[in-house]
Amino acid sequence: MQSTVEERFKISPYLVFFLIHKIQMGVGVLTFQAEIVKWAGNDAWISIIISGLYINILIWMMYRVLNKEKTDIISINKNIFGKWLGNIFNIFLLVYFLLISIVVISSYFEVIHVWMFPKVSLLSLCIIFIPLFYYIVEGGFRIVTGICFFGVMLPLYLILTLLFPLEFAHYDNLLPIFHHSINEIMLSAKQMSLSYIGFSTLFIYYPFIKNPEKSQKWAQVGVAFSIFLYLATYSVSIVFYSEEQLKTTLWPTLDLWKIIEMPFVERFEYIGISSWALVILPNITLAFWAFMRGAKRVFGVKQRKALLFSLFVTLLVVPFIKTHNQIQLLEKSLSFAGYFVFFGYIPFIFISHFIYSKVKKNK
């Protein structure tokens, strides 16, 4: 069954920039510095670039397959691998998208719980946010795209907050350069690649793009902008903290906000965390939408029922993830799935499609 989408439901190619970039910038921006500095230290900026360029290559692979087939990954898996094996891959992707939503929600709720409202229950937060997720996703893909657009533009002012810590910068923390081994830099790049997670939703919303071949350049620019923001955030962090401090700081970006002083704001981190809701909202809703759309294509269920099911699972799971260790365990599960997608599935589908096309052409 091929995926056909009416023209009125499609988006312009340039909006793919916001879809790709937005889902790559989530809660991970608050913590990624501590993860990558463990391997490559002050040379981790090299890892950020390497992992970002690898994501550019993966997106190129995805477009090579999608542009050839003119449909979504659900049909492509079935065409190449057959109904049963193809649906195994499809179900894995559905679980992967749902896991992205749950991990982002749990991580953000932990930040709210630790930094702002330590006594509020996770169930209460779920009851507040889940109707919002339903309202946005039920509105359709164009609404989700609009949320991604505003999720990029409205919190953009937070980039300026990176200037405040430079008053206390120690630029000698950047030196010496290139004093870590290639193996250490690559391990850091492998860890950093998880910060770019979620761009594989392109596999699902590709048919919703007008002239989708023209959207590839916008997808690549979206990744480039993500690389720039991660580089800027890491560079400010490494000159503000010492390398050893950065290794032991749980939320480096939030701690950077603590030093910001303004005449009208005493605790800027409260504003930053509240604004971060606009950052993670598109990530969550896009992943929920991808799950909903994929479930309809795989199982033939109505999209609303698939959405309600995903929100019900979220409501059952998130309130019971209360400790940081539990969240880390959930993040490790997502990391494992992410590694499979990055280093296994996308290259595999690219090679398999190449062979499939050659065999089909010869026949």
Residue-wise pLDDT for 278-287, tens only, equals 999 999 999 9
pLDDT the model gives residue 2:
56
How far apart CA 181 and CA 306 sit, in angstroms, is 47
How far apart CA 23 and CA 194 sit, in angstroms, is 12
**Each residue's pLDDT tens digit, 113-153:** 999 899 899 999 999 999 999 999 999 999 999 999 999 99
Domain extent for 327: 15-362
pLDDT the model gives residue 3:
63
Give per-residue burial for 248-267: e unless 16+ CB within 10 Å, then b. Answer: ebebbbbbbbeebeeeeeee
SS3 annotation, the chain: CCCCCCHHHCECHHHHHHHHHHHHCCHHHHCHHHHHHHHHHHHHHHHHHHHHHHHHHHHHHHHHHHHHHCCCHHHHHHHHHCHHHHHHHHHHHHHHHHHHHHHHHHHHHHHHHHHCCCCCCHHHHHHHHHHHHHHHHHCCHHHHHHHHHHHHHHHHHHHHHHHHHHHHCCHHHHCCCCCCCHHHHHHHHHHHHHHHCCHHHHHHHHHHECCHHHHHHHHHHHHHHHHHHHHHHHHHHHHHCCHHHHHHCCCHHHHHHCCCCECCECCHHHHHHHHHHHHHHHHHHHHHHHHHHHHHHHHCCCHHHHHHHHHHHHHHHHHHCCCHHHHHHHHHHHHHHHHHHHHHHHHHHHHHHHHHHHHHHHC
Q: Do residues 70 and 61 touch, judged by C-beta distance below 8 A?
A: no
Q: At what angle do helices 16-24 and 216-240 cross, to 10 degrees?
A: 30
Residue 1 lies in a domain: no
Residue 186 lies in a domain: yes
Residue 283 lies in a domain: yes
pLDDT the model gives residue 1:
52
- Other CB atoms within 10 Å distance of the CB of residue 115: 17
Residue 176 lies in a domain: yes
Residue 7 lies in a domain: no
Domains held by the chain: number: 1
Residue 5 lies in a domain: no
CA atoms within 13 A on the CB side of 220: 14
Residue 238 lies in a domain: yes
How far apart CA 133 and CA 288 sit, in angstroms, is 8
How far apart CA 286 and CA 20 sit, in angstroms, is 10
Which stretches of the chain drop beneath a pLDDT of 50? none
| The residue count for the chain | 363
Residue 3 lies in a domain: no
Q: What is the CATH number of the domain that holds 52?
A: 1.20.1740.10
Q: Do residues 348 and 134 touch, judged by C-beta distance below 8 A?
A: no
State both tokens at 69: 């087939």
